[in-house]
Amino acid sequence: MQKKDELDRYRQRTNTQIIVTALITTVAFTVGFTMPGGLYQDGDLKGMVVLSNKKAFIAFMVCDALALLLSTSSLFLYFIASMYEDPHSVSRLNNASAGLNIVSVIAMMLTFITGTYLVLSHSRALAITVCVISSFFFLLVVIGLLIKWRYDRRQEKLNEV
């Protein structure tokens, strides 16, 4: 009975995480086709990306591809986890998926930062200001992970007693 309760708890948590992962995947996929700066409308370069010769564009595309790869991989692992009945296997797959999700959110934020820098590069001060403000997200990630780590350690100590 405990095994079934544990499995149900993992599945319930997974349902929420799948929604988040699917949203990240959808956004990353869409961003890959929504080019910052737009496309050339006519001439020999018609349909080509206007800002493709900028280094920030390369960083933008790499970060977006990384976010898409990680979130899609996470979705796949959640799918695989749904086939298992063993709570230990489900837990391991869920933990791996959660890790991929965290890194995919980070990659998505880097996509935003590089895309913003790219389209605001004509006003360097504004571009840098927006990038610095957006970068506070990474500080919040570190703080959040430290809080979770501390909470988990406290729970382990309570369980030992």
Mean pLDDT of each 10-residue bin along the chain, 161 residues long: 72 82 92 86 87 91 96 93 82 90 94 94 93 95 92 87 70
Q: Tell if the pTM clears 0.85, that is, is over it.
A: no
| The pLDDT of residue 32 | 87
Phi/psi at 49 (5° precision): -75, 130
* Secondary structure (H, E, C), 82-130: CCCCCHHHHHHHHHHHHHHHHHHHHHHHHHHHHHHHHHHCCCHHHHHHH
φ/ψ region of 54 (left if φ > 0, alpha if ψ in -120 to 50, else beta) reads: beta
- Which CATH number, 1.20.140, 1.10.3470, 1.10.10, 1.25.40, labels domain 2-160? 1.20.140
| The pLDDT of residue 69 | 97
